[in-house]
Amino acid sequence: MKKQLLPYLVAVLTLIACEKEITVDLPRTDPKIVVEGTIETGRPPLVLLTRTQNYFDPTSIESIAGSYISDAVVTIYDGNNTITLDRICSSSIPDDQLEAVAAAVGIDVNLLRQANICAWTKLDNTLLGQEGRTYRLDVQAEGNTLTSTTTIPGAVALDSLWFKLAQNNPGDDTLGFLWGTLSDPDTIGNAYRWFAQRINRDADGVPKDSRFLAPSFSAFEDRYVNGLTFDFSYNRGSEPFGGDDPEAGYYKVGDTVVVKFASMGTAEYRFYNSFANNVATQGDVFSNPANVRSNIEGGLGIWAGLGVRLDTVICVP
């Protein structure tokens, strides 16, 4: 027995003797400007600007707030005129209006209260998205020039929309998903994105969703369904850092849901799809990182024209 243990003891002692403190010098990259901009049917443009952060930088309210850019000149050329967008910052918005602003820009209201976050838009109705029109974005920020072009395609409405119980558990008569029927035009290259918002109120009298939310992989293209009529479903999207929710991903009998179904171009689809893949592979050691496919020249991010149609469904089996 002693002879059998001796080789193992020698190996263990050798490993202990070879212990050495290793310091890894993590590479750092220069920050880049990220654009998050959209212009939808009948709505003004909305542009947010941030800086990239290094992967191992600490994450906190302060660091997130510090990534937003508050000084820039943002213009849009609509084919006839160049319009300079107005800067609106959360520090100048009355507190009783912050929730409405948070819903419009898609930023947590508590973050808006704690930090001065700016967005660029045009609220005087002089620049509203028109289907079939092309818009060129120009951003001048921190010594950089960023540009992009997008077109709002003609919107394709859903043929029908309904609620269906998930029935994942026997006797489950409460939770389910939304389903839609789509007739894709017989022209290859159409792409879509699904958003939804519950507008009924919870027990405290607060609307269940403060804004339209997109579930994971909310964008899809017609590569395999060109010219077809088909049914599809989506789960419920959730707020980032929304906390524990036993009904996460599901709609509930009695919910009233507005669905925003958006048509978009191929470049815009590639961004949203690659972004979803990137999020899905975070923390998965068996997957290769997915590069996000930006349509911004001189920076990162998205400038997306969306042809939008809205529909409402009451969740009843």
pLDDT at 178 over 70: yes
Q: Do residues 98 and 183 share a domain?
A: no
CB 178 within 8 A of CB 257: yes
Q: Do residues 53 and 82 share a domain?
A: yes
Distance CA 265, CA 152 (A): 8
Q: Do residues 136 and 187 share a domain?
A: no
pLDDT at 232: 97
Provide the residue range defining the domain that includes 63.
33-151
Q: List, for residues 3-53, the tens digit of each pLDDT value.
A: 555 454 445 445 555 555 655 555 556 789 999 999 999 999 999 999 987
pLDDT at 267 over 90: yes
Q: Do residues 166 and 138 share a domain?
A: no
pLDDT at 281: 77
Q: List, for residues 273-298, the tens digit of each pLDDT value.
A: 999 998 887 655 455 556 899 999 99
pLDDT at 239 over 90: no
More confident residue, 204 or 176: 176
Q: Which CATH number is 209's domain given?
A: 2.60.40
Final residue in a domain of this structure, among 151, 176, 191: 151
Q: List, for residues 59-110, the tens digit of each pLDDT value.
A: 655 666 678 899 999 999 999 999 999 999 988 888 877 777 777 777 777 7
pLDDT at 287: 52
Tell me whether residue 294 is in a domain: no
Q: Do residues 192 and 115 share a domain?
A: no
Task: Find tokens 């017609």 and name the residue.
Answer: 222
Q: How many domains does the chain have?
A: 2
pLDDT at 173: 84
Q: How many CB atoms lie within 10 A of CB 24?
A: 5
pLDDT at 12: 47
- Which of 200, 212, 194, 199 minimizes the C-alpha distance to 158? 194
Final residue in a domain of this structure, among 94, 117, 151: 151
Tell me whether residue 44 is in a domain: yes
pLDDT at 29: 66
Which segment of 26-30, 124-128, 165-169 scores lowest on mean pLDDT? 26-30
Q: Do residues 142 and 221 share a domain?
A: no
Q: Do residues 117 and 85 share a domain?
A: yes
Q: Do residues 131 and 205 share a domain?
A: no
The β-bridge partners of 252 are 175
Final residue in a domain of this structure, among 125, 151, 177: 151
Q: Do residues 109 and 172 share a domain?
A: no
The three-state DSSP-derived secondary structure of 253-300 is CCCEEEEEEEEECHHHHHHHHHHHHHHHHCCCCCCCCCCCCCCCECCE
Tell me whether residue 297 is in a domain: no
Round the average pLDDT of the chain to a whole number and report it.
Answer: 86
Tell me whether residue 104 is in a domain: yes
Q: How many CB atoms lie within 10 A of CB 287?
A: 11
